[in-house]
Structure 1
């Protein structure tokens, strides 16, 4: 993919589908901006290179065109002097220089065309970079609001009828202690009930012994 395609695609592509899958979409937008900035820096270097190429080829074309004119002057002078061989040679050189000058001029024009295209691309890319940078700031602010809202909904402190995480922790601890206390009370009650049964049984046994003794005494009296 060419540099121009990368810049164009980045400028026009929707990144929402990619961002939906990311844990930190704001971080990814920063990477997009860095990629675009790298492309812009590369394009600026290419622009300078093409400007330099255009200047060099234009200078070569001008220098060669000047040599062609000099050859034309020599050919005319030779013709005036009746030196046809020298005139022919000078005319041939003139044609060769003119061909080279045209070639350099064509290369300079191609470089100028690339310069013009790069300038347009750079302008568009810089505008897009500014827009995306502002968009990233907006996304970052929106992400912070979401996180802040989540923190408010799950606070450490209590707010209104909602208990904070600290208060809920204390509530859970109190519930556990209440369970322990209830368990202890049940255990104590069972022990007390058992002790009570033992005392009652002893009392009944004593009463039975008393009654037996009374019966024995009564039998002795009848005898």
Structure 2
């Protein structure tokens, strides 16, 4: 029973976080199930221990009666009462068989107790591991869900349209940059041309300004 529960729990944990709609709820539910199974396992161990103890008690009682009937048979035989000795020996054999049966059953019951304890320890270890991993698993599930939403969103976006729009914007900016650069070059060339064209008149004005300064 416990092994089956462990297999089910292990399969649920490793099923895949993409299958979990509410990881916190699923993990809490799993933990509660494991707590219930731990409680059942502890109860089964106690019950099996009681059964083993009962067989052991019956074994002690059967062995005591076997010894008692053996002594009675010896006493009757020594007293010459063979019929009574025969009856005592018959009962002795009965209790001897019962003692053997109880011994076998007690050994089997204690073996089952050991097995249940081992499986209970394994279940409890898995339970503690899951408790320790609970927050980490929830975090991983949340990250996986966010990534899945992002991928879904990206797939729903027409990336080609966005790329074309950005290309048009880049082309417009480039055109503005070219026009601005061309305008600056034109203004500079125009100023240079003006300086050459009016060079003579500029010199005349400078000469006039010099004469006025001397006079």
1:121 and 2:124 correspond: no
Which stretches in structure 1 are left out of the alignment for 5+ residues?
Answer: 150-223
Residue 194 of structure 1: aligned partner: none
1:116-195 to structure 2, matched below 5 A, reads 116-142=114-140
1:96 and 2:97 correspond: no
What is the CA–CA distance in structure 2 between the aligned matches of 1:20 and 1:43, rounded to whole Å? 32
1:23 Cα offset (Å): 1.8
**Larger RCO, structures 1/2 (Cα 8 Å, 6+ apart):** 2
Tell me, yes or no, if the aligned pair for 2:18 and 2:144 is still in contact at 8 Å: no
Tell me, yes or no, if the aligned pair for 2:59 and 2:99 is still in contact at 8 Å: yes
TM-score (norm 1): 0.60
Encode CA deviations 1:39-63: one digit per residue, 9 max, x unaligned.
1110100000000111111011101
Encode CA deviations 1:124-181: one digit per residue, 9 max, x unaligned.
11111000111112123445677999xxxxxxxxxxxxxxxxxxxxxxxxxxxxxxxx
TM-score (norm 2): 0.62
Match of 1:64 among 56, 62, 65: 62
Q: Which runs of 4+ in 1 moved over 4 A?
A: 142-149
What is the CA–CA distance in structure 1 between the aligned matches of 2:52 and 2:92, rounded to whole Å? 24
1:4 Cα offset (Å): 2.2
What is the CA–CA distance in structure 2 between the aligned matches of 1:14 and 1:49, rounded to whole Å? 30
Residue 21 of structure 1: aligned partner: 19
What is the CA–CA distance in structure 2 between the aligned matches of 1:11 and 1:116, rounded to whole Å? 23
Residue 191 of structure 2: aligned partner: none
1:14 Cα offset (Å): 5.3
What is the CA–CA distance in structure 2 between the aligned matches of 1:148 and 1:19, rounded to whole Å? 12
1:119 Cα offset (Å): 0.7
